[in-house]
Each structure stands twice: as structure tokens, then as C-alpha cells.
Amino acid sequence: MSFDVDVAVRRGEAEIACRFTAGEGLTVLFGPSGIGKTSVLTMIAGLLRPRSGRIAVAGRTLFDGETGVDVPVEQRRVGYVFQEPRLFPHMSVRRNLYYGAGRRGEGGGAISDDTLIEVLGIGHLLDRAPHTLSGGEARRVAIGRAMLSNPAFLLLDEPLSSLDRARREEIMVVIERMRDQLDMPMLMVTHDHEEAERLATRIVGM
Ligand SMILES: Nc1ncnc2c1ncn2[C@@H]1O[C@H](COP(=O)(O)OP(=O)(O)OP(=O)(O)O)[C@@H](O)[C@H]1O
């Protein structure tokens, strides 16, 4: 089981509850704007505490309201790709990419750095500054930065939003390759039906 999630939380006026299990590959959390998809990702990441419930990823319990387990965010080994790329503006692409790489232990991650940079198609961008990148390039670097921190699982929050058609296609191809080539649980949020249908191994409706 890659994701085993059963959480509830209140945010302002909104009561958010979500329950699903998913196997290997890419799980898509699908639903309309405001339903609570981002909130679910932040609970799985450990940035928002559920009022109750349980979160396990790849067999490891990260939160359990009954037994009091609540693994801190920095120990969850989560790769989080936010809705906006959020690259550090004063660092080159290379330094952005390797920002979290100190966490890689002996033997590196599930994929070598060179392979990852090749899959993402960002090898020619390493010495560039973030403000010189297109939206699609910046997204690919943000995905690379998350992956190079050697995460145990990957959370992607609308990684295709606000990109034009060509850039969306580029990122979709990258996500498909990661889904098919990496043995890593991936959970992606979208409100776009076509994206969900194309990329998901399993779709969870919210
Ligand atoms: N800090 C907050 N204070 C009050 N209400 C909040 C807060 N954060 C989120 N909410 C509310 O919780 C609900 C879920 O928000 P969330 O961002 O998780 O939804 P979403 O499905 O990811 O939406 P979108 O697709 O628009 O990003 C919304 O109704 C939102 O208004």
C-alpha cells in the first residue's frame, strides 16, 4: 500500500474529511477548487495537523490520532512540489537543485542525479538564474529539487496549473516517466479531468 489516509480537519468554516488507500504508481486527488485537496497534501506532509485520523505512506505510520504518533515534517522524507515553483531567486538552478541534497545518505536516492536531470530535461539550465527560466522550466527544476532531497514519497500540488499547452505537455511527459521509471509513491492534486485520466494509476475523487 503506498498511501493509507483517513483524515479530518476544520479550516475556517470548512470541514474537510478524506479517506483513501492507493497502491503503487501515481495517485491523483481530484476535485473542485476549495474542496480541501491542498489541505490533505499539507496534512500528509506534516505541515497541518489533522484533528483525527491516520496517515501511513509506504507502510510507515506518519500520523495516528489514537496512538499519538505524529512524525515531524523534517523526518517524513517528503518531496513537496508546491503550486508555484518557489525557487530561491538568488541561487542558480544548480544550487536550487542541490539545496536539499545534503539529506541524501550513502548510495544516494532512488535515481542517480544524472538520470534525474536527463529525465527532467534541465541539464542545459544548471548555470541559469531562476528569473531567466520559462514557467515550464521552473516547474521542472522544482520537481528536480524535490526529488534530489531523496524523498520516500512525492506530493505534487497542481504541477500543471498556469502553464500553456506546450509547457503542460512537457511536464506531463516528465510525470509519466517518473511514474513509470521510479519506484516511488506519488500523490498529485488536480481539478483537471483530462490530466487526471491521463496521468493517474488511481483517481481519488474528493
Ligand atoms: N488558513 C485558512 N483559514 C480558513 N480557511 C481556510 C484556510 N485554508 C484553507 N481554508 C479553507 O479550506 C477549504 C479547503 O482549502 P484547500 O486549499 O485545501 O482546497 P483545494 O481543494 O486545494 O482548493 P484549490 O484547488 O482552489 O487549491 C477552502 O474552503 C478554504 O477556503
Is the CB of 34 within 6 Å of ligand 1?
yes
Mind listing the pLDDT tens digit for each residue in 142-173? 999 998 888 999 999 999 887 888 888 888 99
Contact 80, 148 (CB under 8 A): no
| Nearest CA owner, ligand 1 atom 8 | 11
What are the distances in angstroms from CA 150 to CA 44, 66, 81, 103? 17, 30, 13, 7
36 lines ligand 1 (CB under 6 A): yes
38 CB within 6 A, ligand 1:
yes
Model pLDDT for residues 39-81, shown as the tens digit of each residue: 999 999 999 999 999 999 999 999 999 999 999 999 999 999 9
How many angstroms is it from 141 CA to the middle of ligand 1? Answer: 26
Q: For residue 184, what is its C-alpha cell? A: 516511488
| Cα 55 from Cα 120, distance rounded (Å) | 30
Residue 128 exposure: Cα atoms within 13 Å on the Cβ side:
13
> Distance between CA atoms of 66 and 69, rounded to whole angstroms?
8
Question: What's the CA gap between 20 and 3, in Å, rounded?
Answer: 8
Spacing, Cα 86 to ligand 1 middle (Å): 19
CB atoms within 10 A of CB 27: 23
CB of 35 closer than 6 A to ligand 1?
yes
Q: Are strands 52-57 and 60-64 parallel, antiparallel or unpaired?
A: antiparallel
pLDDT value for 107: 46
* pLDDT tens digits, 16-25: 999 999 999 9
Q: Whose CA is nearest to atom 3 of ligand 1?
A: 12
* C-alpha cell belonging to residue 45: 506532509
> Does ligand 1 have an atom closer than 6 angstroms to the CB of 75?
no
CB half-sphere exposure, 80, CA atoms < 13 A = 18
CB of 12 shorter than 6 A to ligand 1: yes
**Which of 64, 85, 61 has the alpha carbon at shortest distance from 75?**
61
Task: List pLDDT tens digits, range 96-109.
Answer: 999 877 655 544 55
Which ranges of 100-185 does DSSP label H, i.e. alpha helix?
A: 113-120, 135-148, 165-181
Cβ(19) – ligand 1 distance below 6 Å: no
CA distance 81 to 148: 12
Q: Is 62 helix (H, G, I), strand (E, B) or coil?
A: strand
